[in-house]
């Protein structure tokens, strides 16, 4: 497995991480714990050293799962977690008050079974708490040895600059993929300027780019995608053109859709580390294979031109969640 450094932070991780949210939260029923632990440990065996979780993923259950699975590999892996919601519940609204940040940090240390949190993200920018106060609190936690690096998730340019002026931001985590390219306009140039790494979540379009989802797919009633406009039956049908295009490229390369989509992301910047999530070992192995897939500049230009000709249908979030991003 190749490694990458997240910007100027010195934080070195595998070129591909593992997003662990879906093991307990967001995409239907939780995976059986024994199977989930086996999957996480299989990822370590494949060279993955970067694991992503959050308090809000099942209010700590996801962190507890990672704590159990990764305890044998302490010091050899990097675990990122997040704070920012009232009582760790995204439905209850935002809370990045200093006392809340500290409470989450203490609980995360216990659940993850670690002495320090490798990367501590603010999950969403809280308009009620000045960014300087948020960053200052994490700066204090870093001084106390409880946190190693600070990160932001789905933050806008102004918030990133404010935070970075207080304490170096190691990484920004936001959605970025072949079917969500908004970060290219302002965010990627800003991260380059400030020396901040980028961790794209949903690099496979919440599964859509793999080709495993079509207009007839029925999601579990607890699946987050049921409320995502881009995943309406009508929009899935319209967006199928993107998957067909990816299919063609994958066939030419002797690869899979997922591998091409991830290889495309890896080719964008040397400080980008995607974190695809999965509950299946064969998908994990497939995703890791993307690290060794090389796309030439000509192939990337070809993919870009073809995708630019197909407008994506549907918003990536319902309105009430869209209000929380890019602040």
Task: Tell me the catalytic residues.
Answer: 57
Longest dimension (CA), the chain: 54
Residue 103's nearest CA partner among 156, 72, 59 is: 59
Tell me the β-bridge partners of 173. 153, 199
Instruction: Please say whether the beta carbons of 80 and 50 come within 8 A.
Output: yes
Which neighbouring-strand residues pair with 186?
none
Distance CA 306, CA 308 (A): 5
Residue 263, CB half-sphere, CA atoms under 13 Å: how many? 23
Contacts of 118 (CB under 8 A, 6+ apart): 11, 78, 79, 80, 148, 149
What secondary structure letter does DSSP report for 211?
T
Alpha-carbon gap, residue 257 to 208, rounded angstroms: 10
CA 131 to chain centroid: 21
Instruction: Give the pair of three-digit tokens for residue 139.
Output: 């700066």
Q: Are 262 and 287 a contacting pair, CB within 8 Å?
A: yes
In a 13 Å sphere around the CA of 237, the CA atoms on its Cβ side amount to: 5
């Amino acid at each position: 497995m190749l490694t990458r450094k997240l910007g100027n932070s010195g934080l070195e991780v595998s070129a591909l991480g593992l997003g662990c949210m879906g093991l307990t939260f967001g995409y239907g029923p939780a995976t059986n714990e024994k199977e989930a632990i086996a999957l996480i440990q299989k990822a370590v065996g494949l060279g993955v050293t970067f694991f992503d979780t959050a308090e809000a993923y099942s209010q700590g259950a996801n962190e507890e799962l990672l704590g159990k699975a990764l305890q044998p590999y302490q010091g050899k892996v990097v675990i990122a977690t997040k704070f920012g919601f009232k009582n760790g519940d995204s439905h209850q609204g935002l809370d990045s008050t200093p006392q809340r940040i500290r409470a989450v940090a203490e609980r995360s240390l216990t659940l993850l079974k670690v002495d320090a949190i490798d990367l501590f993200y603010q999950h969403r920018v809280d308009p009620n708490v000045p960014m300087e106060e948020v960053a200052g609190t994490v700066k204090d936690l870093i001084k106390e040895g409880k946190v190693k690096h600070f990160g932001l998730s789905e933050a806008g340019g102004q918030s990133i600059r404010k935070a970075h002026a207080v304490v170096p931001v190691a990484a920004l985590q936001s959605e970025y993929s072949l079917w969500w390219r908004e970060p290219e306009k302002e965010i990627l140039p800003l991260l380059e300027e400030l020396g901040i790494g980028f961790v794209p979540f949903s690099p496979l379009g919440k599964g859509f780019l793999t080709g495993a989802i079509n207009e007839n797919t029925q999601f579990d009633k607890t699946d987050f995608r049921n409320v995502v406009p881009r995943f309406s039956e009508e929009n899935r049908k319209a967006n199928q053109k993107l998957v067909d295009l990816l299919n063609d490229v994958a066939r030419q390369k002797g690869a899979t859709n997922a591998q091409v989509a991830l290889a495309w992301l890896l080719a964008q910047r040397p400080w980008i580390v995607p974190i695809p999530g999965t509950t299946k070992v064969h998908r994990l192995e497939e995703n890791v294979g993307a690290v060794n897939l090389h796309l030439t500049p000509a192939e990337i230009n070809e993919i870009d031109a073809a995708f630019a000709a197909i407008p994506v249908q549907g918003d990536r979030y319902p309105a009430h969640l869209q209000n929380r991003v890019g602040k």
